[in-house]
Amino acid sequence: MDEADTDSVDEPAYAAVRRDGVLCVRRSGTEWLSTGWDGGRCQADRAYNISVPEEWARTDLEAYTSERIGRAGFNEADSKRPVLLTGVDIADARGARCGSVTAYATAGISNPAALPMNPDKSDQSGSNSSGDDAPTRPGTGTVNLIVGTTRALASGALANLIAVAAEAKAATLLAETGFPGTTTDAIVVGHDLEGESVPFSGTGTEVGGATRACVREAVRASLQAHYAERTEQVPASVDEATHGVSTTERATVFRPGDATTDGDNEQRPS
Which of 6, 86, 15 has its CA nearest to residue 45? 15
**How many CA atoms within 13 Å lie on the side-chain side of 70?**
8
Q: What is the pLDDT of residues 134-174, one digit of tens each?
A: 444 555 579 999 999 999 999 999 999 999 999 999 999 99
CB 166 within 8 A of CB 186: no
Level-2 CATH architecture, domain 3-246: 4-Layer Sandwich (3.60)
Distance, CA of 63 to CA of 66 (rounded, Å): 5
Classified as helix, coil or strand, 47 is strand
Q: Give residues with Cβ within 8 angstroms of 170, minimum separation 6.
A: 180, 181
Residue 201, CA distances (Å) to 50, 89, 230, 267 in order:
27, 31, 37, 34
CB 148 within 8 A of CB 191: yes
CB 23 within 8 A of CB 104: yes
| Stretch 260-264: mean pLDDT | 62
Q: Give residues with Cβ within 8 angstroms of 115, minimum separation 6.
A: 180, 246, 247
Q: What is the pLDDT of residues 216-258, one digit of tens each?
A: 999 999 999 999 978 889 999 999 998 899 999 999 999 999 8
Distance, CA of 116 to CA of 245 (rounded, Å): 11
pTM, two decimal places: 0.88
Domain locations in the chain as residue ranges: 3-246
